[in-house]
A and B are shown apart, each in its own frame.
Chain A
Amino acid sequence: MSTIIFFLPFILIYTIFAVYGERKISAFIQDRYGPMEVGKYGWYQTVADLLKLIQKEDIVPKKASKKLFLIAPVIIFTSIFCGFVVLPITSSWEGTLTQNGVYFLLAIVSLDVVGILMAGWGANSKYSLLGALRSVAQIISYEIPVTLSVLCVIMISQSLNLQEISYQQGILINAFPDMENVKNYLFGISALNIDVTNWGGVFTWNIFRAPVLIPVFIIYFISTLAESNRAPFDLPEAESELVAGFHTEYSGFRWAIIMLSEYGMMLLVALLGVILFLGSWNTPLPNIGNIMLANWTTGEPETIAGNLWSVFWLLSKALMWIAVQMWVRWTYPRLRIDQLMSLSWKYLTPFAMFLIFVSGLWRLLMI
């Protein structure tokens, strides 16, 4: 069964709640109320916004290159949406089984840069073009650290298949084909000889299986913030200087598509980060002696309980990640463009290259 029947409605519903959540979180941080008018505590505010956006006129500036301008949002959304195809949702419901796995995800997501360039150039507005150029420069610069950090995880887990990576990080490790005899050791070091395969929980999460992944995780978090154009890396749509960046000229439903893609990207990087570093759909609770917390909160694959537990853990971790992204956005000031570039090329990229060696050594010592 294709995972599209889950992800397509989920992205829409999640975006409605995430926009509301973001406004409430920002209001809390800035000591205001946020939306309060529509429904109790402003619950229906984003639904009302969405209905309003559908009714708005679709304005194409006279000087714009019409074809590029109209197609661009479709490309931006579709490329990000295709990234979801390889993600597993539960222990027995995974996306496509291609051997390229996460490599495909990185490739298809890089296509949204083309859409942004089309939007910025097509609009023929100075704000749009400047925003698009900055956006593209930023996204391609941070794509290198993102890819290198994903690579570190692949080196530890020796697989591009995200479902296999998920199984490795929990008590169900031996239920995956070809991994019947694999054991998880504490910190991944077999020399310590502390077998944590049956402990499960956080002890088998990737950042615990190989603590070298903790700095990698930090690099991934920072660079994916920039990939999804979120503050403090929101220069492309810096309101105070570029109005709205590459989507200045968009209105109505086309603008809504671009917003949807931005939130979709946040969800995508959060889900990918959870799968790669934070134990995917595995429970955070370990087995302690006879108290089998991990077994109780995981369930067997292919059963209803197993599916419900795993989708619950995966989504709650991902939504928590998104909450942190929002918290960061409303806490830190925006970077300047030269700081942005030097952060990516002079700090994150060399550091990620160094971490690749450390992960390689760790992997060889793990065996």
Chain B
Amino acid sequence: MSNETASFGEILIYLIGGIVFISGGLFTAWIIRPKRPNEEKLTTYESGEDPLGGAWGQVNIRFYVIALIFLLFEVEIVFLFPWATVFGREELIEATDGLWGWVALSEMFVFIFILALGLAYAWRKGYLEWDKPEIKPSDFKGPVPTEKYNAINHKYSKFTSEQPKK
């Protein structure tokens, strides 16, 4: 058994420790808590209304695209980690007369640049845009004349980015 594998034994201790701790807590709670279910209690919460249908349904494609871009970046990062621990090693740089560091850095430059192209493509094509809420101007006519509002807006305009309407 190598040291590396042995060091994962401790991770296993954490894994088991975490599960045991939670199970212990849940068990304690199970002993002392009441269990009196009724129809009302077991309905899904929907702010006091009776729930209409379930929640399981189609989700927006945005989430899928974001997960996809994330996955590709994650793969890139997996390559970056081993590189990051060796590219600036003094002994390697000395062994190659200072060549190693610059070569490794420029190789990684090319690698990241290609992926940055991908990000730029997704950006340009608008996959990074999220659906923005459309703000519809209300046709509500209040008793306060518009000029009064504009005057107030103008007075505090240095706090907001929007210019008062003329």
Contacts and interface: CB of A to CB of B under 8 A. Distances in A.
B123 interface: yes
Contact of B10 (A96, A133, A144): A96
Interface residues of A, number: 79
B112 A151 contact: no
A336 to B, nearest CB: 8
Contacts of A256: 25
Interface string A150-165: 0100110011100000
Given A338-B131, A342-B130, A8 B89 contact: no
Given A57-B36, A85-B14, A338 B129 contact: yes
A81 B14 contact: yes
B89 A78 contact: no
Interface residues of B, number: 72
A357 B13 contact: no
Interface string B21-37: 11101101110111111
Given A74-B19, A99-B4, A338-B131, A361 B85 contact: no
A8 B33 contact: no
A126 interface: yes
Contact of A144 (B56, B70, B108, B133): B70
Contact of A137 (B66, B112, B132): B66
B46 A125 contact: yes
B90 A367 contact: yes
A22 interface: no
A230 interface: no
B1 interface: no
B32 to A, nearest CB: 6
A159 to B, nearest CB: 6
B157 interface: no
Nearest to B105: A360
B140 interface: no
A73 B8 CA distance: 24
A154 B85 contact: yes
B77 A148 contact: yes
B25 A253 contact: yes
Interface in A204-259: 243, 248-249, 252-254, 256-257
A155 to B, nearest CB: 5
A40 interface: no
Interface of A: 2, 4, 8, 54-64, 73-74, 77-78, 81-82, 84-85, 95-99, 103-104, 121, 123-129, 133, 136-137, 140-141, 143-144, 147-148, 151, 154-155, 158-160, 243, 248-249, 252-254, 256-257, 336-338, 340-342, 345-346, 349-350, 353, 356-357, 360-361, 363-364, 366-367
User: Which 4 pairs between the two chains have the least Cβ-Cβ distance?
Assistant: A338-B130, A253-B29, A81-B18, A96-B10
15 contacts: A2-B10, A85-B14, A96-B7, A99-B4, A103-B81, A125-B55, A126-B46, A129-B55, A136-B67, A140-B66, A144-B73, A144-B77, A346-B123, A350-B119, A367-B88
